[in-house]
Amino acid sequence: MESYTVVRPEHLNQYGHLFGGCLLKWVDEIAWIAASRDHPGCQFVTIGMDRVAFHRGVQLGAVLRFDATAQTRGRTSVTYAVRVFADDLNTGAEEAIFSTAITFVRLDETGRKIPLPTTAV
């Protein structure tokens, strides 16, 4: 799944760069949407990211492209690889700024882990 967002003033820290927490929120949300679309009817919660490493700072007005791809599937969990790129709208070039793998587990209404359906998109 692919998604985009624009870095706005409310996303910046005191030094004028994107807050890391904003980026992590977007990554979590976009990966959750991808997992939920690939597994309709499943209730997922985030259980972890494999690493958090920011490759470069991001300034006001940057357009970010998020690419979330299914990576692995367990009995009750799914993992998505997420890559984030900053687009240069003047040149059309883009630069990788962040990547991670995020894992979700399926829960029932009482909060207990349950198996994934046998078929998925």
Does residue 120 register a pLDDT over 60? no
Q: Which fold has domain 2-107?
A: Thiol Ester Dehydrase; Chain A (3.10.129)
As a three-state string, the secondary structure of the chain is CEEEEECCHHHECCCCCECHHHHHHHHHHHHHHHHHHHCCCCEEEEEEECCCCECCCCCCCCEEEEEEEEEEECCCEEEEEEEEEEECCCCCCEEEEEEEEEEEEEECCCCCECCCCCCCC
Where do the domains of the chain lie? 2-107
Does residue 119 register a pLDDT over 70? no
Reported as a pLDDT band with limits 50, 70 and 90, residue 91 is: confident
Global pTM value: 0.91
Query: If you average pLDDT over residues 86-98, what whole number do you get?
Result: 90
Q: Comparing 59 with 80, which gets the higher pLDDT?
A: 80
Query: If you average pLDDT over residues 22-35, what whole number do you get?
Result: 98
pLDDT per residue as tens digits for the range 48-78? 999 998 999 899 999 999 999 999 999 999 9
Q: Which of 4-8, 21-25, 53-57, 109-113 has the lowest mean pLDDT?
A: 53-57
Does residue 33 register a pLDDT over 70? yes
Does residue 38 register a pLDDT over 80? yes
